[in-house]
Structure 1
Amino acid sequence: MATPKGERRRAAVVAAAARLVLSDGPAALTHRRVAEAAQVPLAATTYYFSGRDELLAAAGERIVDSWVVAAERVAKRAVAEATGVGEPARAYGGLVDDLITALLPPKVGEIRGHYEHLVGAGRDRTLARAYRAGRAQLDAATAKILAAHGVSAPPDLVLAVLDGAVVIALSEGRQVRAYARDTLLRALTALDPAR
Structure 2
Amino acid sequence: MTVGGTAKGARRRELIAAAAAALVLDQGPGALSHRAVAARAGVPLAATTYYFRDLDELAAVAGAALVDSWTAHARAVLDTLTDGDDPAAVLAEALLPPGDDSAIRAHHEQVLALGRNPVLATAVGAARVRLDAVLTELIEAVLGRGAPARTRDPELVLAVVDGAVVAAASEGRAIRPHTRRLLGILLA
Is the pair's TM-score, using the shorter chain for normalization, greater than 0.5? yes
The DSSP-based 3-state class of the residue aligned with 2:88 is helix
Matched, 1:183 2:182: yes
Aligned pairs for 1:17-36 (under 5 A) are 17-36=20-39
* CA distance in 2: counterparts of 1:142 and 1:18, whole angstroms: 21
The DSSP-based 3-state class of the residue aligned with 1:122 is helix
Matched, 1:172 2:165: no
- Deviation string 1:144-182 (CA, Å, 9 cap, x unpaired) is 122112234222111111110111111112111011111
- Deviation string 1:29-80 (CA, Å, 9 cap, x unpaired) is 00011111112111110000111110011111111001111112223444xx
Please name the residue that 1:69 is paired with: 72
Percentage identity across paired residues of the two chains: 48
Structure 2 residue runs of 5 or longer lacking an equivalent are none
The AA in structure 1 aligned to 2:104 is I
Structure 1 residue runs of 5 or longer lacking an equivalent are 83-89, 190-195
Shift of 1:15: 1.5
Shift of 1:28: 0.9
**TM-score, normalised to structure 1's length?**
0.84
Superposed structure 1 runs of 4+ greater than 4 Å apart: none
Q: What is the aligned residue count?
A: 178
CA RMSD across the alignment = 1.7
Which of 86, 89, 96 aligns to 1:94? It is: 86
Shift of 1:7: 2.7
The answer to which of 141-150 and 111-120 deviates more is 141-150
Matched, 1:113 2:113: no
**TM-score, normalised to structure 2's length?**
0.87
Please name the residue that 1:160 is paired with: 159
Larger radius of gyration: 1
Contact 1:96 1:184 in 2 (8 A): yes
Contact 1:169 1:175 in 2 (8 A): yes
